[in-house]
Structure 1
Amino acid sequence: MNKLLKSAAALALALGLTAPAMAQDTIALVVSTLNNPFFVSMKEGAQQKAEELGYKLIVLDSQNDPSKELSNIEDLTIRQVKAILLNPTDSDAASNAARMVNRAGIPLLTLDRGVTRGKVVSHIASDNVAGGKLAGDFIAGKLGKGVKVIQLEGVAGTSASRDRGEGFALAVAAHGFEMQASQPADFDRTKGLNVTENLLASKPDVQAIFAQNDEMALGALRAVRGAGKEVLIVGFDGTDEGIEAVKRGLLSATVAQQPKLIGELGVETAVKVLKGETVPEFQPVPLQIITQ
C-alpha cells in the first residue's frame, strides 16, 4: 500500500499536482440563468472563492427553465458533489429540486432566491423587502407623495420578485402613491422594453417606474426615451451597466446588491458546512441605493 501511495505521489509530482489538488472536493453552483450580468457576477465570486479555498466548482446554467434546473440537480446528485448552491429559477418549482438534494443527503444552500419547500442549510441574499421599500422611498424623496407609478415585476414565483414587490407596496402605502400598473417583465430587458411601451400608451401620465432589476429598468429606459417622455426610473441589483446608466443620468437610481459577494459567501458557507461548522440559516448581504 505504501508503495502505491508513493507511486501516486510521484505521479502527482510529475504532473505538477499538489496534494490539495489531488484531494479537491467538488461544490456545485446551479444558476437560474447566465444570460444576466447579475448572475454572471455571482458565478465569478463563487469561482474565485472556491479557487482560493482549494475546492473545485461546477457551474450549471438552468436557462430560466425549471425542468432544466431539475435535470441539473439530478445530474449533480448522481455525481455526488459535496454541496450544492442553488439560485432557483422559481421558488415554488425549485421545491422538487430541493427535496431531491435532501434525499441524496447533500447540503443545500440557496443564493439570492429561496425555495418554498425543502431543507436549506443557509440562505444568502439581500433583504429584498427592504430594497423594494428603499426604491419607493427614493421616489417619494424626489417627487413627493401621491406619485403615479408603474412597477415592472420579475419572474412570477421567485422569492426575489415577491419580496421586492412587497417592499415597494409598503412604500406605495406609506407615500400615497397611485399604482397605475404592476406587470411582469420576467427580469428581462427586451420584455421590460415591450411592457413599458404598452403601459406608456395606456398610462401616459405616469411619473415614475420601479423595475425589480436593472435589466428591466434599462429596457424601460429605451421605451421612455422612445416615447419622448420624462419619467423617473429606479432599478434594482446595481449591475455595472445599471450603475453606469445612473452615473450618466439616464436612470435615476438603482438599489445595489452585491452579487459577487453573494457568490463568495455561498462557497465560504458551504465549506464551513462541510467542515462541520454551524452556519446561520439566513445571511443578509448589505445593499444601498446608488444615485448620481
Structure 2
Amino acid sequence: MENDMKLRLATCALMITAAFAATGANAQDKKALAFVVNGASDFWKLAEAGVKKAQEELPNYDLQFKYPEQAAAAVQQRLMDDLVAAGVSAVMVSAVDPKSSTDALNKVGAQVPLFTTDSDAPDTNRIAYIGSSNTDAGKQAGEIALKALPDGGKCIGFVGLPGADNARERIEGMKSVIAGSKVELVDVRGDDIDMTRAKRNVEDALAANPDIDCMVGFYSYNPPRIYEVLKESGKLGEITIVAFDEDPITLGGVKEGTIAATVVQQPYEWGYQGMKLMAKYLEGDKSMVPDNKLVIVPTKIIDKANVDAFEAELKARIGG
C-alpha cells in the first residue's frame, strides 16, 4: 500500500513537472515582434494601444513596444541589436536618422525581417513601410497656413529630428504648397525630442522675430510648446499656429480657435496593422506587402468643425 502511494505521488510529481515544462516551452515557442519608437513622447500612446489590440488577436505571438533611452540613432540601434540578440523574430522601427543609419539598419534587416513606420528608411533592406505619407501631411499643413494667412506672412517651424525622413518630407511638402504664395517658411529649428529645448527654441525664435506671423509645430509635442510660450508672452491668438498630431493641448487650442488646425495621423493603425502585417509575413503570407512596399495610412486635417468627433474617437481607443 505504501509503495502504491509512493508510486502515485511520484507519477503526480512527474506530471506536474511535465506540465510546467510544457508551459515554459509554449512561452518560448511564441515569436516576439518588436515595435521600436524614436523617442519618449505621449504621441506613441495610440500606437501602443494599437499593438495591445493586435496582441488580443495574435495570442501565439509576444508583441513588445520599446522606447529607446534617448532619441539618438546609436541608442536606438543598440536597442534593436539587443532585441535581435534576445531572439526577436521581426522589428518595426521609426528610424531616428535613416540617412546616417543605413548600414546599421541593414544589419538588423539581414538578421530578421525589418519594417519601418512613422519615418521611413527607403534606402535600406526594410520589407515595407506602414504609416503616413509625410509629404502629403506637409502639404495639408501648407493648406492650413494658406487658409489662415490669406494676406501672407512669415512662418517659423519647430521639429524634433531634422534628419528624419518624416521631418524632411513634412517640411518639403509644406514648402511645395506655399511656393509662389505670400506665405513663407523662413526657418525650422530642431530639438532632438528634448522638451526643454523644444520650448526654448520657441522662446528664442519669438525673441529674435517679434513680428513673426505664424509658427508650425511639425512633431506632436511642438504645438503644445508653441501654445505655452505664446500664452506666457501674451501673443496667443495673435500668431497663427499650424499643428501636427493630437496632443490634448493642441486639440484644446483647435477648439478655442487659438490653433488654426492640426494634421493628424493614425498611429493606432500603425501599431495594430503593423503587428498583423509582420505576423502574416512571418507565416509566409506576403500579400499584404504592396509592390511599392508602402502601406499608407491617410492623414487628415482637424479643425474647429470636426475636433469634438475626433476627440471622442481617440478617447474610445485609449480608454479615456
Same fold (TM over 0.5): yes
Shift of 1:9: 11
> CA contact under 8 A between 1:145 and 1:175: conserved in structure 2?
no
Q: Tell me what 1:284 maps to.
A: 296
- Check 1:175–1:186 CA distance in 2 against 1; reply closer, same or farther (3 A cut): farther
Which range moves more in the overlay, 264-273 or 48-57? 48-57
Q: Tell me what 1:39 maps to.
A: 44
Q: Tell me what 1:232 maps to.
A: 240
Aligned-residue identity in percent: 28
Q: Tell me what 1:125 maps to.
A: 131
Q: Tell me what 2:187 maps to.
A: 181
Q: Tell me what 2:267 maps to.
A: 259
The equivalent position to 1:268 in structure 2, one of 276, 290, 294, is 276
Question: Considering only aligned residues, what root-mean-square deviation do their CA atoms show, in Å?
Answer: 2.6
TM-score (norm 2): 0.80
Which range moves more in the overlay, 120-129 or 193-202? 193-202
Q: Tell me what 1:3 maps to.
A: none
Could you report, residue by residue, the CA deviation over 1:122-172 in whole angstroms, capped at 9, with x for unpaired residues? 101111111111112112112214322111133121011001001111122
Which range moves more in the overlay, 89-98 or 270-279? 89-98
Could you report, residue by residue, the CA deviation over 1:173-214 in whole angstroms, capped at 9, with x for unpaired residues? 042313333222334443332112111122122111111023
Equivalent residues in 2 for 1:77-88 (5 A)? 77-88=84-95
Which range moves more in the overlay, 238-247 or 210-219? 238-247
Alpha-carbon distance in structure 1 between the residues aligned to 2:101 and 2:51: 21
Alpha-carbon distance in structure 1 between the residues aligned to 2:245 and 2:183: 23
| Larger Rg belongs to | 2
- Check 1:164–1:267 CA distance in 2 against 1; reply closer, same or farther (3 A cut): same
Q: Tell me what 2:107 maps to.
A: 100
Alpha-carbon distance in structure 1 between the residues aligned to 2:220 and 2:257: 14
User: Are positions 1:49 and 2:54 aligned together?
Assistant: yes
Q: Tell me what 1:73 maps to.
A: 80
Shift of 1:215: 0.8
Could you report, residue by residue, the CA deviation over 1:8-58 in whole angstroms, capped at 9, with x for unpaired residues? 99616997x9x976742211122212x201123212312321332111012
Could you report, residue by residue, the CA deviation over 1:33-88 in whole angstroms, capped at 9, with x for unpaired residues? 2x201123212312321332111012322221222212112112222221111121
Which range moves more in the overlay, 132-141 or 247-256? 247-256
Alpha-carbon distance in structure 2 between the residues aligned to 1:160 and 1:78: 28
Q: 2:275 is aligned with what amino acid?
A: V
TM-score (norm 1): 0.87
Equivalent residues in 2 for 1:167-206 (5 A)? 167-206=173-212
Alpha-carbon distance in structure 2 between the residues aligned to 1:45 and 1:97: 27
Alpha-carbon distance in structure 2 between the residues aligned to 1:155 and 1:23: 38
Alpha-carbon distance in structure 1 between the residues aligned to 2:187 and 2:26: 55
Shift of 1:264: 1.0
- Unpaired runs of 5+ residues, structure 1, are 1-5
Alpha-carbon distance in structure 1 between the residues aligned to 2:151 and 2:139: 14
> CA contact under 8 A between 1:189 and 1:217: conserved in structure 2?
no
- Check 1:151–1:143 CA distance in 2 against 1; reply closer, same or farther (3 A cut): same
- Unpaired runs of 5+ residues, structure 2, are 1-13, 305-320
